[in-house]
Amino acid sequence: MNLKETFGDIDIYLFDQLMKGRFDSCRTVLDAGCGAGRNLVYFLKNGYDCYGIDQNPDSISFLKSFARSLSAPTKNFIVSSIEEMPFKNESFDLVICNAVLHFARNEKQFNEMLQSLWRVLKQGGFLFVRLASDIGIEHLIKDLGNRCYLLPDGSKRFLVNQQILLHYTRLLGGELFEPIKTTNVQNLRCMTTWCVKKQ
């Protein structure tokens, strides 16, 4: 098996969930903030009903071309913000949101994006999120207000921590299906994986 051809440039933590069989019962998949579709390659190639949204028209155009090459529907990939997704409530078994939520301008926008992701997720469905956090680098970041921080790598991000993620898990009425995990990239930034099942 050619892993690159089968899985594309999939996020390693999403790959981990696939290997654990978490999403074996899922059929409808949304990648919210999909970019060019790196996390949809496996799903598209294996007959899942895939959807994607992104605010970059070029990314959506590229993803449509890739879907067309696999004889998959292209109408499922649209230019949209997360807050204004045009999908019906409880449409998807799996919602992926990889490296997007930390671009929120403030807590209000973060909450709006998160509520929108949760709205389109089916009961019993899975929400897979990767986002920047301050876990492990609390003393190295500079507070810019509105939960936005300057990171040691020079980027500006909306940051969460474990307490915030557990609060939102309870607020949404969800349940962790994987412990919260954080990768520290040489004290320059930290990325956290948050996996929630909709009860």
Residue 42 near residue 6 (C-beta atoms within 8 A): yes
In the chain, how many domains are there? 1
Kindly report the pTM of this predicted structure. 0.96
> How are strands ordered across the β-sheet holding 49-54?
77-79, 49-54, 28-32, 92-98, 121-133, 189-198, 174-185
Residue 80, domain CATH:
3.40.50.150
Residue 198 near residue 121 (C-beta atoms within 8 A): yes
Question: Residue 52's closest CA among 72, 69, 26, 23?
Answer: 72
pLDDT tens-digit series, residues 117-131: 999 999 999 999 999
Question: Residue 160's closest CA among 97, 104, 95, 94?
Answer: 104
pLDDT tens-digit series, residues 64-116: 999 999 999 999 999 999 999 999 999 999 999 999 999 999 999 999 999 99
Q: Which domain holds residue 40?
A: 3-198
By CB neighbour count within 10 A (0-12 exposed, 13-18 middle, 19+ buried), where does 10 fall?
buried
